[in-house]
A and B are shown apart, each in its own frame.
Chain A
Amino acid sequence: MKVSRDRLYFNTSGYVLLTVLAGACLLPFLLIVAGSVSDETAIYTDGYRLIPRQFSLKSYGIIFRAPASILRAYAVTLMLTAAGTALGLFLTAMTAFALQTGDCKYRNVLAFYMYFTMLFNGGLTPFYILMVRGLHLKNTYWAMLLPSLLSVWFILLTRNYMKSIPREVYESAKIDGAGYFAMFLRITMPLSVPVLATIGLFIALGYWNDWYYPMLFVEDSRLYPMQFFLYRLLNAARFSEAVMKGANVATANMPKEGMKMAMAVVATGPIIFLYPFIQRFFIRGLMIGAVKG
């Protein structure tokens, strides 16, 4: 069948637009990778380029020659991600379970109690003072773990999913005399695996990429997670005080230009590798979220 002319124009403009946008999406990544494999002196004379003048893996060499602080930052990120995801997911599921049972008389009041925090909040200043002065969480792992443990949005999404589990499955458990917690663990949790996998990955991504809470509350460089470590390195030249503190660079010199880019690659690599496997869970999460608001 002959393709009509308007179809031809339409498809062509579609391909052009999508290709240009995808290219623009990838371009910055390519620039970073190119910078990381450029020879240091070539960067000093010619600057960063899309195609390196002189190929060299020295920047990675410098990073991995004294890897202690990087490995430490990685370990902190992994630990926070694992702990935050496990604890956050468990609490999200447990709260969602309790809110969806018809037995809880105050479920709507409590749901609104949580929901209201999305509408109105006290802003950064009281929160900061509470964390630092009230709870004394400055320079602790808790400061990076606790504030993003629970999200109202995730609780409500999980609750809506759990509501769709037919009530009959609970009947036999009730007859056997199972309590709420047992029902939650043995019936609701296994039946909610799809939504929990998705929400768990959203929580994990949040912890993995977090640099905001570390910036607010962490000064001790031993507690830096990966993204914040990268941030300090990138800005080391701009904040001379960071350089004074060594910015955790083993050489104690100013971080080299190629090294900054190599560090960016090292910090982002795992996400790019995992991306093909986790992508569909996030798409599913967006679909669940899109069903209502």
Chain B
Amino acid sequence: MAPSTWARIMATMAALGTDVANRTLSLTGGGSAAGMARMRIGYGITREIWSKKTLYAMLLPAVVFFLVFHYIPLAGIILAFKRYEYAKGMFLSPWNGLENFRFFFCSGKALRITLNTVLYNLAFLSVGIVLQVSVAVFISEVPGRAFKKTTQSILFLPYFISWVLVGAFVYNIFNYEFGAFNSLMRSLDLEPFNAYGRPEMWKYVLMAANAWKWTGYGSIIYLASIMSIDPELYDSAKIDGAGILQVIIHITLPKLKPTIVLLLLLNLSRVLRGDFQMFYQIVGDSGQLFDATDVIDTFVFRALVRNFNIGMASAAGFYQSVFCFVIIVSVNAVIRKVNSDYALF
């Protein structure tokens, strides 16, 4: 990293001057700057760090990284309660109470984008589980090694592909003048179809894109847990004359249940986070589709980058962060009840 960049990071840290920064400084061996009183209180810490300088020096880059790129922005959520002034910056701009929130909730967008985010995620989640589990079950059961390897590879491929290419797909298929879909319509002597005038259609496009991207990825995880099922269970079922459906219903699915529940809960904890990259590449800046397809993440992005409405963007971001945190903590409490081995914290 260029020295000048380091200098800027250090300057930002110093300017922050919060408790967090002080504590990190003393944690990382710079305690002498904080004065004698602190030295005495932090004596245990200082000695621990001094005696293993190398070890803590090895941790320093990561500590600084998370401080700069995660904790300083985290402190920046106070922007939601401020009227951002360019000249004064994030921490010195004047407070304006709940003004930003009033603006955000009165715009009428808050409910719309929250509902969109939650409903899209629930739809992706349910379609995803059905597809991923069926693919895993079929791949584990049908004969034909080469066929299974090929299909598995093809289904996993989209995971490696950038969302930008998905944007190219959408352009190729739904463009009004040249799109493959309208080429097909024309060759069947049907009226060309203006996809951008039909907002309700994009739900299915987004669901298809999400399934395209994640089916292979998810099925690998389920396949791994199918592979770890004791083969003796299958053998004894065979001896008892169980049919394939009975085997799946009574052995495979029950054995998969913990994995399904866990992945379900992990995804539920992210129910308020929209997949920005997917939504933005597919919908882009097509304003007529926003009501049907806007999620919190795309809304915040547009408010910030396109309209420079910092107040609105930070209020919506704050709202999302806080509710996400509440959801994660509650979901984790549920996981802890179901199976404490899988609890996140």
Contacts and interface: CB of A to CB of B under 8 A. Distances in A.
A and B: interacting chains? yes
B143 A130 contact: no
A191 interface: no
Interface stretch (A25-33, A58-66, A167-175): A25-33
Nearest to B154: A22
Interface of chain B: mostly helix, strand, loop or mixed: helix
Contacts of B159: 282
Interface of A: 4, 6-7, 10-11, 13-15, 17-19, 21-22, 24-26, 28, 31-32, 35, 43-44, 46-50, 91, 94-95, 97-99, 101, 103-106, 110, 112-115, 117, 119-130, 133-137, 142, 146-147, 149-150, 152, 155, 179-181, 184, 205, 208-212, 216, 227-228, 230-231, 234-235, 238-239, 257, 260-261, 264, 267-268, 271-272, 275-276, 279, 282-283, 286-287, 290, 292-293
18 contacts: A6-B243, A21-B155, A25-B215, A28-B212, A32-B168, A35-B180, A48-B178, A48-B183, A95-B62, A97-B58, A98-B56, A123-B320, A126-B90, A126-B317, A134-B72, A135-B9, A142-B2, A257-B178
Contacts of A24: 208, 212
B79 interface: yes
B284 A95 contact: no
B142 interface: yes
Interface of B: 1-2, 5, 8-9, 12, 27, 45, 48, 52, 54-56, 58-59, 61-63, 65-66, 68-77, 79, 84, 89-90, 131, 134-135, 138-139, 141-143, 147-148, 150-151, 153-169, 171-173, 175, 177-180, 182-183, 186, 208, 212, 215-217, 220-221, 224-225, 243-245, 259, 262, 266, 276-277, 281, 284-285, 297, 300-301, 304-305, 310, 313-314, 317-318, 320-321, 324-325, 328-329, 341-342, 344-345
B212 to A, nearest CB: 6
A231 B72 contact: no
The dominant DSSP class at the A interface is helix
B79 A129 contact: yes
Contacts of B52: 103-104, 180
B318 A230 contact: no
B321 A106 contact: no
A129 B164 contact: no
A91 B61 contact: yes
A44 B301 CA distance: 34
Contacts of A119: 325, 328-329, 344-345
A155 B62 contact: yes
Contacts of A101: 55
Nearest to B48: A105
Contacts of B266: 293
Contact of B160 (A4, A120, A147, A271): A271
Given A105-B48, A130-B73, A268-B165, 5 more contacts: A11-B143, A31-B173, A117-B66, A134-B72, A282-B156
B43 to A, nearest CB: 14
Contact of B165 (A17, A264, A290): A264
A211 B276 CA distance: 12
B284 A124 contact: no
A134 B310 CA distance: 16
B155 A279 contact: no
Contact of A15 (B68, B71, B147, B173): B147
A260 B63 contact: no
B151 A21 contact: yes
B153 A276 contact: yes
Contacts of A283: 156, 220
A290 B55 contact: no
B244 A130 contact: no
Question: Which of A35, A101, A103, A134 counts the most chain B CB atoms within 10 A?
Answer: A134
Contacts of A146: 1, 69
Contact of B183 (A22, A46, A113, A155): A46
The 9 closest A-B pairs by CB, nearest first: A126-B76, A123-B317, A47-B183, A122-B73, A14-B138, A209-B162, A117-B70, A28-B169, A126-B73
